[in-house]
Amino acid sequence: MAMKAEQIFAQALTLHQRGQLGEAERLYRQVLARHPDHPDALNLLGVLALQSGRNEQAIGLIERALARTDQVADFHNNIAEAYRRVGRLDAAAAHFAKAAELEPGFAEAHQNLAATLRAQGKWDVAAARYRRVIELRPQLAEGHNGLADMLLRQGQFTEAVARYRQALALKPDRPEVHTGLGIALQAHGQPQEAAIAFERALALKPDFADAHRHLATALLEHGQFARALEAARRAVEVTASADDKLLFVRCAGVAPRNVADPDGALRATLLRAWGELWARPSDLARLSIILIKNNPLIASAITRSQPSQRVAPENLWGPAGLAAPAGDRLFRYLMESALVGDADLERVLTATRRIVLELAASGAAMDLANDELAFCCALARQCFINEYVFACSDDELEKARGIRSSLTAALQSGAPIPPLWPTAVASYWPLNDMPAAEALLQHSWAEPLAGLFIQQITEPREETRCRRDIACLTSIDEVSREVRQQYEENPYPRWVDVGRIVRPTTLQASLRALSPDAGVEGGGDILIAGCGTGQQAIETAQMFPDARVLAVDLSLSSLAYAQRKTRALGLRNLEYGQADILRLDAIGRTFDLIEAVGVLHHLADPFAGWRVLVKLLRPHGLLRLGFYSETARRHVVAARAFIAQRGYQPTVEDIRRSRQELMTLKQAPGQPSVAESWDFFSTSTCRDLLFHVLERRMKLPDIEAFLAAEGLTFVGFQLEASMTMRYRKMFPRDPAMTNLANWHAFELEHPYTFAGMYLFWVRRRVDN
């Protein structure tokens, strides 16, 4: 006797529960063949379709079931899940809510509704639903975790921590919950406890990128920089995302000198960062120097180069000769693109330059391997970048002049030219200064030499052409002319490249993050007042592609350098002009964002320049400023006094000589040495640091008084997270960290907090 439809349905349901989906589907369809509107068969056939990934088919089937009866909670819950899977979140939320209404004790419906509301960004109502889930099923870890996630979004960190802990008490093997707990603890100002939570997550799931990423930021805040660097490296290893690469760069910038790299994984990641140029070369330089000095061959050369060793230059690299450093690709990356800001490596390179000179003079370099020639060219490029700041004896200079004369004669006569001749000359003077330099471009050269000629001949001549295209926007004040002359002679700073990872955004979004009442019409207008050689201006233009950026400076040489770089990058929203900040109110323009970093303190009256910039600021705009700190630059003042006492002048020769003396001076305990400053390692930056024609240092009480007098509001400092954590511990009642009297007290206790400069944001005062 043939089975009845209900018997077939019961058999189908049993098969469905056993996971025999094909047989179950066949029987459900038999039921529907007899009773096309059978609601349970329609619903469960829809569930089966959902399980098989046929979401639209599931929606159609369950809709038919609901048309038959819309009072079954399960039907609403199932179709809601189908809607959620196809991204129709509003419909999903409505049906999950209906299911919970029909069956108030239906915990799964409440949980599904909470998850959907969460996906819609409706944190408050999602939190309320998670609370209902917990009421119904207090032992459900997912309910506590979901509520904790919502509380975290709402900034309710204390309860979020408690809920995460409850979820972990119920189910301790969830790495994402440990990570959530860590994020809540970190937001609550407990980076050390946060780091423990992230490490527990990683013990459960070693390749969990989120945990590595958050662990790195927590360790940064806690000042554990070596561990932070390793966590960031692991995050890059897992995801290779742009955000993780930038986090690695951030950690690399504060890496301790004793950071270890036993398996070479750190060096491999850093080489990748150089190859893909994740950030400014200067941001990669610190860690590069640490790892280069860990190379045993280079460490041995550093030992031999110490003044006490008196090792002849030809013995610097031992039996391997130039092959020893030539195999270190990281060293070449550094020399080609950034300052080698380290006294030990400077001594090694100074001695190596002498070796290259002797090889060029003797003609014994014809058999140099390709990587050795590349290393020599990289050294010459470094000398150009640091503007020939290395120490040089008279006899060495005389020998270099002889090779330059031989090179000039060969270029004029068409005689063969050994590759080390132009390389050696380029290590002592820019090739562009040679009268016959253009002839070098007519020859066919190996790639390292071609790159050297672009740097020292092609690009400087392009800058000469750029000078003609830069408009003069204002007249120049008498005092400003002295400052301009310094930067005409030494454009500041000489840089090579910007990072390739760019996070474009709108000016409106960026300013609103700093000041909620900030307003920008259209793409907005930005002024970079004192742009120097343009690196900051270019990065600003890249970050805000819809904004119009005007960058001004006193020095035409600096502006020409900036213009060449801007054209090479193809930027269209950045224009340059020669101008004096004190006369800028004559240009008849106003701006949403004005940046003057490291500029105003070179005016006779920095506050006069600041007042001019305030006039150019739109009502809801922001100013980003940078001033030298009187407290943090005491060691610089002492070095300047030493230089004055010794009678050194701001010439290339005296800068070289003074540097050699300063490197040997012993510092007072706890006081930094100017020889540890990055600015110490090139002619232009050292002149700016120690020989500047005009420098005015600031104190925070003076800045606070100016803000009050001019109707300006302090928005905040730009500092590393570890420093802001220190401040929060010292002044917990200033959560916004905007009390300058507190900051003054903090600086007196930590005098080198602002060793670079006070870097901060201000806006016009908003009256309530």
Tokens of residue 60, six digits = 């159609």
pLDDT of residue 334: 98
Distance between CA atoms of residues 207 and 232, nearest Å: 12
Q: Which residues make beta-bridge pairs with 550? A: 527, 575
pLDDT of residue 366: 61
For 55-109, the pLDDT digits (tens) are 999 899 989 999 999 999 999 999 989 999 999 999 999 999 999 999 999 999 9
pLDDT of residue 519: 84
For 625-662, the pLDDT digits (tens) are 999 999 999 999 999 999 999 999 999 999 999 999 99
CATH domain 481-627 topology: Rossmann fold (3.40.50)
**Per-residue pLDDT for 1 more than 50?**
no
Mean pLDDT along residues 544-555: 97
**Predicted model pTM:** 0.90
Q: 5-203 belongs to which CATH class?
A: mainly alpha
Q: Which residues make beta-bridge pairs with 548? A: 525
Phi, psi of 406 (to 5 degrees): -65, -40
The residue type of 328 is: D
**Per-residue pLDDT for 19 more than 90?**
no
pLDDT averaged over the chain? 93
Question: Can you point out the beta strands (E) in 598-745?
Answer: 617-627, 712-717
The winner for highest mean pLDDT among 15-24, 186-195, 617-626 is 617-626
Identify the burial level of 529 via C-beta atoms within 10 angstroms of its C-beta, where 0-12 means exposed, 13-18 middle and 19 or more buried: buried
**Per-residue pLDDT for 551 more than 50?**
yes
Tell how strand 712-717 and strand 617-627 pair up.
unpaired
Domain ranges of the chain: 5-203, 295-465, 481-627, 634-690, 715-763
Mean pLDDT along residues 396-421: 94
Distance between CA atoms of residues 93 and 83, nearest Å: 9
Mean pLDDT along residues 375-381: 98
The residue type of 78 is: N
Question: How many CB atoms neighbour CB 738 within 10 A?
Answer: 15
